[in-house]
Amino acid sequence: MFDKEIYKKRRSVLKEKVGTGLILFIGNEEVGMNYAANSYHFRQDSTFLYYTGIDLPGLAFIIDIDEDKEILFGNELTIDDIVWTGPLDPLTAWADKAGITITKAFKEIDALLKAAKAAGKEIHFLPPYRGRHVLRLQEWLGYVPSEIETQISEKLIKSIVSMRSYKKPEEIAEMEKAVDISTEMHELFFTSLQPGITEKFVEGIVHGHALSTGNNLAYPIILTINGETLHILPRDIEMGKERLAICDAGAETSMHYAGDLTRTAPVSGKFSSIQKDIYNIVLHAQLACIEACKPGVLFRDIHALAGETLLSGLKDIGLIKGDVQEAVSKDVHTLFFQCGLGHMIGLDVHDMENLGEKYIGYTDNIKKSTAFGWKSLRLAKALEPGFTLTVEPGIYFIPVLIDLWKSENKLSQFINYQELEKFKDFGGVRVEDNVLITQGGCRILGNKIAPKTIDEIEAYIYRVNTIHKK
Ligand SMILES: [Mn+2]
């Protein structure tokens, strides 16, 4: 946990912003995998962590703004619990570390909320993303599940977004840590690659590093020779020596700040000539986009810059023809780059996504497009100092999508479909780093950057393999 003063300060700012009523934060609970006692890995709610730092299941927290009271609800362990868990600090000790002075038994929250509602007090709560929380809200506040959406506090959402979007130095230090562990995970990815090894085997090594350093994953690892499938999970299949492998993996520190990096490397250790061409197009786009990240610039425009840079590279190798600007305006790039350029990152890998993308990545004036490709862009608004985000352009040759567009002769004045046939078993390339927006521009997070140019990647794989595997 951070120092208690940090949590107290955050809560006092939040109280000021929300103004009146009660704020209800429901912490996460253990969730059974196949029966109640065999639970999934516990992950606390990120907003709960942001305002209390308390990383325990089965809690709720209320800030009564008008009465100026903060109450933590939870149950103390009984001797029956301690037999299985060992002794843990009492709830009062956890509350004290967070600067919270009142603790109550969990069951007492019900009467408190019912009384507040009966008295006509405003009760602010966030959109629930777990079924259990929907039931809690129904039980405590009397809303049927279908009505909860209409009762969510936009005021609370906007207040939280206006705080969590701007990372403070202590948070940036945690994020640097997350990126550093993620970088080490990618170094292991590079040096574990060899023809015939399975995707799952390499995944295990990469995941293991997050665990063995006392951290965990920020999201399930994508590690595949079919990188054109955006969220494919690692399979028990051997990786062929002629393939490129994508590794999209990020650590979450013990304080739950996320890293999110992607590197692409040849399974054999050496890029083929055409792999070099495609890789360099993506790398060039990534460097140009990072260069463009600065306060005041719309991330939507940087996404368009990615499209333009990718298409101009594809034109150089004969896959695209005609005027590149015009091609981008017609969304030709979405045949190769179907997702967004990046997203906010922090306590969540897609930071605050549960609060609603329209508040995180968009504004009242900058609305989300529904067009293919553009609808997957999670961040579009103007960048500001303190934002942390990912920059992750890619080229993905999706055979089904190519066949579909070709069958419709779609945008054929720009696309050389005949040449494109040769790329239908290429796979995909993505390069991703995490950046902090500064006063004058941005900087890449992490004390070192994982090998990124073709020379760096090939040299890294060669050096480590010849030194350590002789
Ligand atoms: Mn990402």
What integer pLDDT is reported at residue 60 of this predicted model? Answer: 98
Task: Give the percent of the chain with pLDDT over 70.
Answer: 99
Q: Which residues lie below 8 Å from residue 389, measured CB to CB, with a gap of 6+? A: 293, 299, 342, 343, 344, 345, 379, 383, 434, 435, 437
- pLDDT recorded at residue 469: 57
- Distance (angstroms) between ligand 1 centre and the Cα of 386 equals 18
Q: State the distance from the centre of ligand 1 to the C-alpha of 165, rounded, in angstroms.
A: 16
Considering the four listed CATH numbers 3.60.110.10, 3.40.50.150, 3.40.350.10, 3.90.420.10, the one that applies to the domain covering 4-164 is: 3.40.350.10
pLDDT at 92: 96
What's the CA-to-centroid distance between 343 and ligand 1, angstroms?
Answer: 7
What is the predicted pLDDT for the residue at 85? Answer: 87
Write down the domain spans for the chain: 4-164, 169-468
Residue type, 127: P
**Total residues found in the chain within this entry:** 470
Residue 469 Cα to ligand 1 midpoint, Å, equals: 32
Measured in angstroms, how far is the CA atom of residue 47 from the centroid of ligand 1? 20
Q: pLDDT tens digits, residue range 243-267? A: 999 999 999 999 999 999 999 999 9
Q: How far is the CA of 352 from the centre of ligand 1 (A)?
A: 14
Cα–ligand 1 centroid distance for 272 (angstroms): 26
Determine phi and psi for 400, rounding to 5 degrees. Answer: -65, -40
Q: What is the pLDDT of residues 154-206, one digit of tens each?
A: 999 999 999 999 999 999 999 999 999 999 999 999 999 999 999 999 999 99
- Ligand 1 centre to CA of 120 (Å) is 43
Q: What CATH class is the domain 169-468?
A: alpha beta
CA distance 468 to 470: 6
Instruction: Identify the CA nearest to 431 among candidates 291, 316, 265, 297.
Output: 265
* Average pLDDT for the chain: 96
